[in-house]
Amino acid sequence: MTILVLTLLGPLLAALAMFTLRRMPEVLALTGAVFGFAGALGLFVAVSDGVVVSISLPFLPDFPIRLVASPLTATLSMVVATVAAMVLIYAAGYMRKDPERVRFFGTMLLFVTAMQALVLSGDWITLLAAWEMMGFASYLLIGFWYGRAGVASAAMRAFLYTRSADSGLYIGVFILIGMSGTSEIAVTLISTGTPTLVAGVLLLVAAMGKSAQVPLQDWLMRAMAGPTPVSALLHSATLVAAGAILLIRTAPMLPDGVLLVVGIVGGITAVITGLIALAERDLKRLLAASTGSQYGLMLVAIGAGAPIAALLHLIAHAAIKSSLFLGAGVFQHDRDGTGLETLAGAGRARPGIFAGFAIAALALAGIPPLAAFFSKDAIIAAALDSTAAPWLLPLALAGSVLTGAYMGRALNVLWDGDAGPVQVPVPLMTIGMGILVALATGLGLGFGALEHMLGAEIEKPGWIVPAMGLAVGLAGLILGWFVPPARLLGPLLTPAQNGFAVAGGMDGLILRPALAIAANCEAMEQRLLRAQVGTVRRIGLGTAQLAEHADAALFAFSLWVGQLSMRLGLASKFTDTNGIDAAIFGFVQRMIAAGAQARRLQSGFIHRELALTAIGIALIVAGLLAAPYYS
Amino acid sequence: MPLLTLATFLPILGGLALIVLPNRSARVAHGMSIAVTGVVFMLTLVIWSRGTIAGGFAQIEELAWIPAIGAAYRLGLDGLSLPLVLLTSLLFFLSAIYSARISDRAPSYVVLMLMLETAALGTFMALDGLLFYVFFEVSLVGMYFMIAGWGYEDRQRAALMFFIYTLLGSLPLLLAIIGLYLSSGTFDMRVWIDMPPLTGIAAMLALIAMLFTFAVKIPAFPVHTWLPAAHVQAPTAGSVILAGVMLKFGTYGLVRFALQMTPEAFAQAGQVILAVGVVSALYGAFAALAQSDLKKMIAYTSINHMGYVVMGVAVAALTVDLRIRTIALDGATLQMVSHGLVTGALFFLLGMLQDRAHSRDMSEFGGLLGRVPWLGWSFILMAFASLGLPGLAHFPAEFQVFLATLNTAPWAIIAILAIVVTAGLYLRAIAAVFLGSENEKWLEMRDLDRREKLVIVPLLILTVLVGVAPSWLINMIHTTMESLSF
């Protein structure tokens, strides 16, 4: 239990200490990361012995917060803690000159805490809360350099896209809790029937938003406005991973129909974002699009009924993608930009970093014996075995070819060009990246043991699957290295460069209609106001005339209304054609002129109002006292 | 010790003392204001420590008043009113601290504020129909003068509109109270709750009358139009009290009167009331999105948030599942408190911004975050609280309301669209005011001073506390709601 808490409190307390002390951000960040890592490691060791660690804290009546470390969640927690620690080491170098390091590292740690809470969540409320907290933290991180042009809108877009999709998670969670009467995830996973189907679809929508699946892919490329370590963390083990993690965890519950949709959405995304990546003219945006396509492949695996294959790819991708981003960040520092033209030859100037970047790129393309070779084979094997193989297999293979192609292109650009001057060493950045590259290289060897621990061993496929995987990967790499994207993509180049925005993309489909509705509401507001003021005025004037001609008894009866009608009656004398505004201002001016001083008028008024109120109440009381006689 | 009476009348006594005091400088007036509201806040904490009981009212203080008609001075508390009492005393205390810079007719201002506090506390604690109505109306008078006397450029018009609107609005409630009295022979609200005296068509008419009054106060679509006008023109503390405390008169009345005293009619009209809540929530969100005046924008989000409360209460009346009913009422009540904390803080912050810039239009600003980090980060945190971010005050409340709604009347979950719209409008406001390149006009803007931090920090802490660990607050609500009779 203590280790479970440590995993979360390590980074959280470090963040709070940082915001309080406002000094030594790097030291505190690494301390927090180390404690978080120790906690995650402890959990991992504990659950590998078959122990389930859980904790429950009070939150809402009947709905406590639950954190659970099972083999699956502890593994994910381990991935998060490892990548986070390495990225933080790297960031200590990368952010060396930034004056706002406290804010940067503090927010990063909050982000890591939220992600740990998400992967370890044992109930839907914790998961939902962590899910949205991560959106908030990423908003702050993407918007870190908020003074720069375009940054605010990129941060806003990231939050809005994911929040729109999150409403799916909200409703899905409400359905699941309503059905089973508890918020415990493990219990809701055994539910079946139509509500489960609806909930499954809604969860898919939420996952598509977070994992940037078509058609919600656009925000991810723009999110590159943030510092590079943020991208590394966001894309590998945290924000984007949350969508796939949600589906991996809920896969046992999803009906076949939903699974098929998951697989097809993933397959289409793998291809579409693969094409976008190939057409990109900026290295970070290329890597971002690639993230979408890799998560698409994971969804294919889930859709094919092999969530474990998706998990393996998620782990491999976490190490690979963070390595790639960290490498890109080094080149970015050297060349002050990430445009592919700017970066031409940047790899030559730093052969060590380039080697690491290249290993990660080959790993992603699925070259043996690097990590993603194994996981990609598992995905292809699952797609082949699936009942939906005619759909899923071609999409998965096309996605793999494109993976090779855009990585080949990136390598070619970085290598092919003038090396430029020799660069200063970057020790911290090299350490952080180096360890992640090592993981990207060797992780695949541990997959067998992991499958055993999770109790879901994947059958080793025959020679045909690895051969297919290797063939498409190599083909892609060669194409990408030698053939320029304009020729490779042909007529698809322009739509790919525009990010395949359907019907004006999110702007056209959601933003503009929302603003149009808002404008209509505002117009309605004005009409409503005019109508109400007009009605009140007419009623008031009518009552005032009535009161003038009525006798004293009637006057007493309508004293309450009279208070108002006298005002409006007075006001009406000043109304010619000027309408209510002039009436009110005339009335007010008259009142001000009538009073000797504003202060006296004000205080005198209180008394009069109170007196009127008192008289009114007295009359009512009198009426009530008389009630027995007339009722 | 009759603490409830003491807490209720201490403010007005303080105000009267100020009137007879020989020295009525601004300093003395504000000193008095802070001292009195501070003591009242302490008193309500003691009242809290005394606790409530399940299934009825606690800490009852009763005095004969007009025995002939069964009207008596009766005060008491349950898990619905106690959180609102605490919220009220806190917001008045903070308003008193914030207002200490007001030099224009300070004694009158302080007297009005203190009178308002008495009226607000009385409204939440009254257990007598007549007494409730008196407090309810007195608050109206106080707020009228607050806006007319210390508001902004167009204050007279806004004040008059506020006054006429809510005065006309509260008349039907009086009729309903008379109706309840005539059929029961007493003004004791406990009797009205335990044995609802009206049935059939009479109950429905009374319900309609009460709904009209409370809909104006809440405010719900389409009788909300007074709110943006009043908020824009009201002085900062006036806005805080109006949004934080006085809107809750409406939602409190909705539960205490409409739901508890005419329960059958309420259940019959449940779908309509739910629809009003849904429309208010969506309409408020979209109307807020169309605003560029920051105060007006926050005012419209109040309509949105109060719409969720209406939804929660309507769902509680509609459902047959006792568990869902409790969840809905828990959520609705918690939402009232959260809204008071969050929107109160947002109006304070906008007031601080307006004090500095004398402008409320978001297009006038830009890039302020680096210039005024305290103001900026406080606003960002509170904006995210207002858009329902987990870990902050609105999330637990809205979660419960939506959960109950989906499992009772699934169509009404459409209101959840509003959480996306509010996210959009707050992010837009944050981007326009605090992010982007710095507007050269405000290079000299200073950050929050000590007094201002003193006002904001308690609200920040409470917002996080309610969001992360709401049980200290919700357990008190839950105990009452589980056994709420209607």
Task: Flag whether residue B323 sits within 8 Å of chain A, measured between CB atoms.
Answer: yes
Q: What is the SS3 string spanning B390-405?
A: CCCCHHHHHHHHHHHH
Tell me the one-letter amino acid at A566.
Answer: M
Instruction: List the single residue in A60, A153, A167 with the smallest CB-CB distance to B420.
Output: A167
Task: Flag whether residue A515 sits within 8 Å of chain B, measured between CB atoms.
Answer: yes
What's the pLDDT at B347? Answer: 95
Q: In Å, what is the CA distance from A172 to each residue of B221, B241, B321, B388?
A: 29, 37, 20, 17
* Interface probe, candidates B224, B384, B425, B477, chain A, greatest A C-beta count within 10 A: B384
Q: From A316, A329, A399, select the one nearest A359 (Cα to Cα).
A: A316
Asked, for residue B305, whether it belongs to a domain, the answer is: yes
Subunit contact B105:A125, Cβ cutoff 8 A: no
| Cβ burial, residue B405 (10 Å; 0-12/13-18/19+) | buried
φ, ψ of residue B319 to 5 degrees: the values are -75, 155
- Give mean pLDDT, residues A478-491: 82
Task: Flag whether residue A62 sits within 8 Å of chain B, measured between CB atoms.
Answer: yes
- The pLDDT of residue A331 is above 50: yes
Interface of A with B in 121-160 (CB under 8 A): 125, 128-130, 132-133, 136, 139, 143, 146-147, 149, 151-153, 155-156, 159-160
Whole-prediction pTM: 0.87
What's the pLDDT at A447? Answer: 84
Q: What is the pLDDT of residues A348-377, one digit of tens each?
A: 888 889 999 999 999 999 888 888 888 888
Task: Flag whether residue A563 sits within 8 Å of chain B, measured between CB atoms.
Answer: yes
3-state secondary structure of B58: strand
- Which residue would you say has higher pLDDT here, A238 or A594? A238
Q: What is the pLDDT of residues A113-123, one digit of tens each?
A: 999 999 999 99
Task: Flag whether residue B320 sits within 8 Å of chain A, measured between CB atoms.
Answer: no
Give A610's DSSP letter. H
- The pLDDT of residue A580 is above 50: no
Asked, for residue B160, whether it belongs to a domain, the answer is: no
Provide the Cα torsion A260, A261, A262, A266; round to 10°: 110
Tell me the one-letter amino acid at A405.
Answer: A
Q: Which residues of chain B neighbour A631 with C-beta distances below 8 Å?
A: 182
Q: What is the pLDDT of residues A62-88, one digit of tens each?
A: 889 999 888 889 999 999 999 999 999
Q: Which bin fits A350, alpha (ψ -120 to 50), beta or left (φ > 0)?
A: beta
B118-157 burial: b if 16+ Cβ within 10 Å, else e: bbbbbbbbbbbbbbbbbbbbbbbbbbbbbbbbbbbeebbb
- Which residue would you say has higher pLDDT here, A274 or A492? A274
Tell me the one-letter amino acid at B138.
Answer: V
Asked, for residue B234, whether it belongs to a domain, the answer is: no
Q: Sign of the CA dihedral A77, A82, A87, A92?
A: positive
Task: Flag whether residue B384 sits within 8 Å of chain A, measured between CB atoms.
Answer: yes
Instruction: List the single residue in A160, A170, A533 with the smallest CB-CB distance to B427.
Output: A160
Per-residue pLDDT of chain B (486 residues; tens, 9 = 90+): 889 999 999 999 999 888 888 877 888 889 999 999 999 999 999 999 998 888 889 898 988 888 888 888 999 999 999 999 999 999 999 999 999 888 888 888 999 999 999 999 999 999 999 999 999 999 888 888 888 888 888 888 888 888 888 888 888 999 999 999 999 888 999 999 998 888 888 899 999 999 999 999 999 988 888 898 888 889 999 999 999 999 999 999 999 999 999 999 999 999 999 999 999 999 999 999 989 899 999 999 999 999 999 999 999 999 988 999 999 999 999 999 999 999 999 999 999 999 888 888 988 888 888 889 999 999 999 999 999 999 999 999 999 999 999 999 999 999 999 999 999 999 999 999 999 888 888 888 899 899 999 999 999 999 999 999 999 999 999 999 988 877
What's the pLDDT at A596? Answer: 40
Subunit contact A164:B420, Cβ cutoff 8 A: yes
Q: What gap in Å lies between CA B299 and CA B243, rounded to an integer?
A: 8
Asked, for residue B319, whether it belongs to a domain, the answer is: yes
Two structure tokens written together for B108: 């009158």
Asked, for residue B102, whether it belongs to a domain, the answer is: no
Token pair 């933290």 is found at A137
- Give mean pLDDT, residues A390-398: 90
Work out the minimum CA distance from A313 to partner chain B, whole angstroms: 30
Q: What gap in Å lies between CA A500 and CA A487, rounded to an integer?
A: 18
- The pLDDT of residue A631 is above 50: no
Give the percent of chain A with pLDDT over 90.
27
Reported ipTM: the value is 0.90
Is residue B116 within 8 A of residue B143, CB to CB? The reply is yes
Listed in order, strand segments (DSSP E) in A76-226 are none
Asked, for residue B109, whether it belongs to a domain, the answer is: no
Nearest chain A residue to B471, by CA:
A59
Q: In Å, what is the CA distance from A212 to each residue of A265, A272, A503, B128, B232?
A: 11, 11, 18, 58, 40
Domain count, chain B: 1
Q: From A436, A404, A405, select the one nearest A330 (Cα to Cα).
A: A436
Work out the minimum CA distance from B106 to partner chain A, whole angstroms: 11
Asked, for residue B2, whether it belongs to a domain, the answer is: no
Q: What gap in Å lies between CA B196 and CA B282, rounded to an integer?
A: 33
- Give mean pLDDT, residues A246-272: 91
Q: How many beta carbons lie within 10 A of that of residue A516, not counting itself? A: 12
Interface of B with A in 61-120 (CB under 8 A): 66, 68-69, 71, 105, 108, 112
Two structure tokens written together for A319: 């190490």
Provide the Cα torsion A120, A126, A131, A134; round to 10°: -80
Asked, for residue B67, whether it belongs to a domain, the answer is: no
CA angle centred on A158, ends A155 and A160, rounded to 5°: 105
Q: What gap in Å lies between CA A269 and CA A283, rounded to an integer?
A: 19
Subunit contact A147:B435, Cβ cutoff 8 A: yes
Chain A / chain B CB contacts < 8 angstroms: 188
Nearest chain A residue to B373, by CA:
A103
* Mean pLDDT value across chain A: 82
Range of the domain at B355: 269-486
| Cβ burial, residue A549 (10 Å; 0-12/13-18/19+) | exposed
Q: What is the pLDDT of residues A125-160, one digit of tens each?
A: 999 999 999 989 989 999 999 888 888 888 888 888
Q: Which residues touch B121 (CB under 8 Å, ≥6 apart)?
A: B7, B8, B11, B40, B85, B88, B89
Q: What gap in Å lies between CA B351 and CA B358, rounded to an integer?
A: 9
Q: What gap in Å lies between CA B303 and CA A437, rounded to an integer?
A: 53
| pLDDT bucket at A597, cuts 50 / 70 / 90 | very low
- Which residue would you say has higher pLDDT here, A275 or A494? A275
What's the pLDDT at B92? Answer: 96
Task: Flag whether residue B24 sits within 8 Å of chain A, measured between CB atoms.
Answer: no
φ, ψ of residue B298 to 5 degrees: the values are -65, -35
Interface of A with B in 427-446 (CB under 8 A): none
Task: Flag whether residue A387 sits within 8 Å of chain B, measured between CB atoms.
Answer: no
What's the pLDDT at A610? Answer: 59
Subunit contact A147:B66, Cβ cutoff 8 A: no
